Amino acid sequence: MKTVDTYNFSGKKALIRVDFNVPLNEKFEITDDTRLKAVIPTVNKILKDGGSAILMSHLGRPKDGPSEKYSLKHLIKYLENTFKTTVHFAPDCIGDEAKKLAASLKPGEILLLENLRFYKEEEKGDKDFAQKLAQYGDVYVNDAFGTAHRAHASTAVIAQFFTDKVCGYVMQAELDNAEKVLGNAQKPYTAIMGGAKISDKILIIERLLDKVDNLIIGGGMSYTFTKALGGNIGTSIVELDKVDLAKELIQKAKDKGVNLILPEDTVIADKFDNNANIEVSDSKSIKDDWMGLDIGPKTAAKFSEIVANSKTVLWNGPMGVFEMTSFEKGTVAVAKAVVKATQNGAFSLIGGGDSASAINNLGFGNEVSYVSTGGGALLEYMEGKTLPGVAALQ
């Protein structure tokens, strides 16, 4: 696979698939610019070489074509401030105006195309749509690892229309860092799995059981495991159809000599509300009408100790409903432990999605080894699946 480092963009128009799927507030202001910052080195390399950059991305999940809420025009000012150059905007990603803007683009300039998902053809992987986009550039660059697991027009189909296709710095870093926890990870190796559902993580948990020394389970998915062990979990989130699977995973961990650690105590509430009544309960005996919304202090201390003494740490998914301040303590404790392990020389990979938001919101983004921008894509890659967006560059 060719990388941007091995390619000279002088005089070339680079059509770059970026991941600008960033959260905007009601005033259309960017609330987390992690994904925007990630792509800066790739664009800078192209402009520095004397090329121009045509950026294409999706934003959100627009259902009925164009809408103000999902327009990429809200990012123009940010891009102009970042790259200190003219950023032209095509109000439609295909059509005459976009074609004209692309044709007249000068070296050192940027063209931002409107949201690709305003067209249903993008997600359908439509070949004609991909070909229309392909006309704008001399070279195709994919730097959108977060969408590499989707066989969409701009990620997987478009590459066939280019002789020159290269992988951007984000894509390269994501693959390299994923390999560090998949290949020869230093021991002790600890994986922390959180989030709401065990069903989202089955394949990766099974694969990790062949690699890790410790598997920590927190977040909503832990209640399915506790239920499997005969515990009373009150009204906590549970996947009843996955209880038998949880039993199997517990047994597999035993058979493989993996230390599988579940929460001993839980922060429980009488309703799903930041201002609910709160108590700490034994995880196996939660009161009938109460729900677990975070790991308890004993568990946080135990998880933190294991993490801090690890040489490789993979973290995917929060320990509780961290968006509410009453239930963020467990996630904060684990984040601090990951930072501590990193300071002690461990390699730490934060696996996208909510864990990335948590680590960045706490200001620890630069204190861990790598924060992935691709939640679903990283999980699928680690499950051993072929990512269409990566395969298209090979």
Alpha helices in the chain (DSSP H): 34-38, 40-49, 76-83, 96-103, 120-124, 127-134, 169-182, 202-208, 222-228, 243-255, 297-308, 329-343, 353-361, 375-382, 388-391
Catalytic residue status for 60: no
Catalytic residue status for 207: no
User: Considering 60, 108, 365, 376, which one is annotated as catalytic?
Assistant: 376
Q: Residue type for 282, please?
A: D
Query: How far are the Cα atoms of 213, 240, 316, 348, 386 from residue 379, in angstroms, in the given order?
Result: 19, 23, 9, 16, 11
Q: How many beta carbons lie within 10 A of that of residue 29, not counting itself?
A: 11
User: Considering 127, 197, 247, 302, which one is annotated as catalytic?
Assistant: 197
User: Considering 296, 352, 353, 375, which one is annotated as catalytic?
Assistant: 353
Alpha helices in 87-168 (DSSP H): 96-103, 120-124, 127-134
Catalytic residue status for 219: no
Tokens matching residue 369: 């080894």
Q: How, if at all, do strands 265-269 and 291-295 pair?
A: antiparallel
Catalytic residue status for 353: yes
| Phi, psi for 149 (deg, rounded to 5) | -85, 0
The region that residue 112 occupies, defined by phi over 0 for left and psi between -120 and 50 for alpha, beta otherwise, is: beta
CA dist., res. 177 & res. 249, Å (int): 26
User: Considering 13, 17, 35, 117, which one is annotated as catalytic?
Assistant: 35
Residue 121 DSSP SS3? helix
Tokens matching residue 326: 């009453």
If you compute the radius of gyration of the chain from its CA atoms, what whole number of angstroms results?
23
| Active site members | 35, 197, 353, 376
